Structure 1
Amino acid sequence: MASIVSADRIRFIVNRFRERLWVKPLAVCLLSIAIAFAAKLADGTALKQILPVIAEDSVESLLSVMAASMLVIATFSVASMVSAYASAANTATPRSFPLVVADDASQNALSTFVGSFIFSIVALTALKNDYFGSAGLFILFVLTVFVFSVVILTFVRWVDRIARLGRMGSTIGKIEDATAGALARRRNAPRLCGVPVQSGRQGHPVFATSVGYVQHIDIAALQIWAEENQARIVVAALPGTLASPDRALAQVITATGDKPKIDSAAIGKSFQIGSSRLFDDDPRFGLIVLSEIASRALSPAVNDPGTAIDVVGTLLRLLSQWCEPATANQDQRPVYDRVEVAEISVRDMFDDAFTAIGRDGAGLVEVSVRLQKALHSLAAIGDAEMQAAAEYHRQLALKRAKIALTVEEDWIAVHDAAKPTA
């Protein structure tokens, strides 16, 4: 099967690299080594005739200070980041860990500290061996001052960021941003740029060879295979689905109905399967993680209804965005006309978002009231499918609150909040 790398596939791969803490520091280290040796290029030019002479001791002193301090700061930054990661896992949910690790400010700070340490060591070694001439020495001095300035600015900015990294509000914000991005991509391409599923058509199933969650589907690769084999492919497992050897990933349909020569390995490679769900192409996962945070906050051990109320507001914002029209410059016409993909279920999204909160917050009047108001808002602004899902969860939460609330005034407050407003 011929292969192409689609923009969606590139985005998925880049996001996986962003979650690796070593990628940026390694790239900056290689760049630092190149910069340190680039100063030598000035010795072969006419710059040595016009540039001022810099004392070698001054450059050596700056590099020595940088070499002695940067490794300590880099070690301190790693310890602070690990502490923030542990805080995010303990106070929010372990599922937020990939988003906290991918924090650009922290990765940039660590890369700057490690890169400046490598730069100072390489430049100092070259300087001690008389590698630079007068022009190269001046350029090295300028580069050293520049790197030192970048380190200071980065450290000041990073201190402000690390104070918030891993805190509950920051973690919820990162999850909201990731979920909003996934919802926007699915809203603009509800069938992943494929065509609607035509009911009543049975095909030949392609099963997963391993157990895990579908993290990404390369629709472009499925389209190529379908074109080459004059077939159609029905995607049976959307991102977020738990795949297993007894559950079909896709159905292959031919015009004649005969069983085609299915290259199960080629089709299976189009489905990225991993041990955990990811936020990128799975909007429901973000809603589940937010619901987990609220559920943990409502546990007797934590007893933090304020966080649950904040999460309800976050879920209201996210699901309100789902009702917005697609981006004006977004062409929703199918790109892959041989791949049939089902749309995400609004009812499933509501189940993911509100079931746990309605159950665990039923005994708290402030949470129940906020939940009723949020579901009223969603029913008012949504389409028929969203109105039905919101009404179902509104009634379910009301039943649970009636059982859990023992004070009559609390029940009246929740019941009044559940009444339609004029």
Structure 2
Amino acid sequence: MNDRLRFMFNRISERLWVKPLLSCVLSILWVFVAKMADYTGLAAIVPSITPDSIETLLSIISSSMLVIATFAVASMVSAYASASSTATPRTFALVIADDRSQNALSAFISAFIFSIVALIALQNGYYGKTGYFALFILTLLVFAIVIITFVRWVDSIARLGRLGSTVHKAEKAAATALQRRRCSPTLRGIAVTPLEPGAQAVFSEHIGYVQIVDLAALQALAEKSRLHISLTCLPGSFIGPGRPLAQVVPDPESGTLPPDSAAEPWDGAEIAAAFRVQAERTFDEDPRFGLIVLAEIASRALSPAVNDPGTAIDVIGSLVRLFALWATPVGDDERCSTLYDRIGVPTLALQDLFDDAFDPIARDGAANLEVAIRLQKAFESLATTGHAEMQRISLEHARRALARAEQELRFEPDRLRLRQLADRLSSG
């Protein structure tokens, strides 16, 4: 799927009204689909269904579904508030995009709309014998869907917004972004090369975070105007006054900026329009954001007000899995080919990923022996992945975490135990 389409689809999935609206339209169509059965000529073979029996079922659905839908909304809002208060507000987008909750709300509201519209049609003699039978079958089907959805949703809502579920969602979002970037470090562009003299910077009119870059649009502009465009930021970068989005250089034969008469003039505003800059970061194209959110969850758990080192230890386990994924060699079937040969894209720095993930935990958990030990074991695991750069950075972070802990731990045997663990890592 095109990156921009996937990004827009994910933003739509975060809107709570979209699925209920679509399901309501579908439920109204079902009422008229039942009428089409009257034109099939099956009246002689279908059993006779009395309108009163259908009306009774529809009345039960209409009187109960609105109450259940209201209860569902209240439960979901409570879960969203819980996720923001127990984890971090940055996880709100992950929780609200939960498919099972949205599907349940859609089923309840659409069942209510279906029952109301069907009752109106039924009481006005809209159906014939075959239509009554078709409406009866559809009503039973709606009834079954509502019951099954409710039972499944009760199990889901009991977990939605809980800290463990939120950590899992954040890890999954980070893993998806890391996997995509692992297979295409330059987002299907080319590696950034040193800029030639005369490069011209392109700036944004907006201040905020880059959410996505439309590389296909940039490639088309570059081909049309015979340019090479080097990105100076990635999704997740904060763009403020004076920080360029990209640097533009002409093809060597063009000679000057803007390009010569052989190429169409280029407009910096068109290039800037390919960068979506908003006030908030998103998980889709920003692997660092997922790591930052996980680190925030761990830091909050380690605060004196919460004092939950177990959650921090769970987050460290999530981070180890994510970095192990990053260290996995990319197979030929996973590697993405270059599509944008005129767009230079910088790669993610592994050092930055480690700093985002582990520095907050090492700082806030320095006084907790269990967290400090788990950090050393995490770095030991990552140092043995076979990734040379990851081994070097893991050893560096292990030394830094040890130095922080030695300053905070007051009990000498605790410091000695931690030093022994760190020595084993450095000697290994």
- 1:101 equivalent to 2:91? Answer no
- 1:155 equivalent to 2:150? Answer yes
Give 1:240's aligned residue. Answer: 236
Give 1:16's aligned residue. Answer: 11
Paired residue secondary structure (2:201): strand
The separation in 1 between residues aligned to 2:8 and 2:110, in whole angstroms, is: 24
Structure 1 stretch displaced more, 376-385 or 101-110: 376-385
- Structure 2: 5+ residue runs without aligned partners? 259-264
Name the amino acid aligned to 2:381: S
Name the amino acid aligned to 2:17: W
Name the amino acid aligned to 2:238: L
Aligned residues: 417
Give 2:315's aligned residue. Answer: 311
Alignment of 1:232-311 (within 5 A): 232-255=228-251, 256-260=254-258, 261-311=265-315
Name the amino acid aligned to 2:92: F
- Cα deviation for residue 257 of structure 1 reads 4.4
- 1:231 equivalent to 2:235? Answer no
Alignment of 1:13-412 (within 5 A): 13-202=8-197, 203-255=199-251, 256-260=254-258, 261-412=265-416
Q: Is the 8 A contact 1:54 1:134 kept in 2?
A: yes
The separation in 1 between residues aligned to 2:266 and 2:84, in whole angstroms, is: 43
Please report the TM-score for the alignment, with normalisation by the length of structure 2.
Answer: 0.95
- Structure 1: 5+ residue runs without aligned partners? 1-5
- Cα deviation for residue 272 of structure 1 reads 1.0
- Cα deviation for residue 384 of structure 1 reads 2.7
Please report the TM-score for the alignment, with normalisation by the length of structure 1.
Answer: 0.97
Paired residue secondary structure (2:246): strand
Q: Is the 8 A contact 2:233 2:346 kept in 1?
A: no
The separation in 2 between residues aligned to 1:325 and 1:151, in whole angstroms, is: 46
- Cα deviation for residue 414 of structure 1 reads 1.1
- Cα deviation for residue 388 of structure 1 reads 2.4
Deviation string, structure 1 residues 381-420 (Cα, Å, up to 9, x no partner): 1523222221221111111111100001111121112123
Name the amino acid aligned to 2:137: V
The separation in 1 between residues aligned to 2:351 and 2:24, in whole angstroms, is: 49
Identity across aligned pairs (percent)?
55
Paired residue secondary structure (1:252): strand
Q: CA RMSD in A?
A: 1.1
- Cα deviation for residue 244 of structure 1 reads 2.1
The separation in 2 between residues aligned to 1:327 and 1:273, in whole angstroms, is: 33
- Cα deviation for residue 330 of structure 1 reads 2.7
Paired residue secondary structure (1:192): coil
CA gap of 1:327–1:129, structure 2 versus 1, over 3 A, is farther
Q: Is the 8 A contact 2:231 2:245 kept in 1?
A: yes
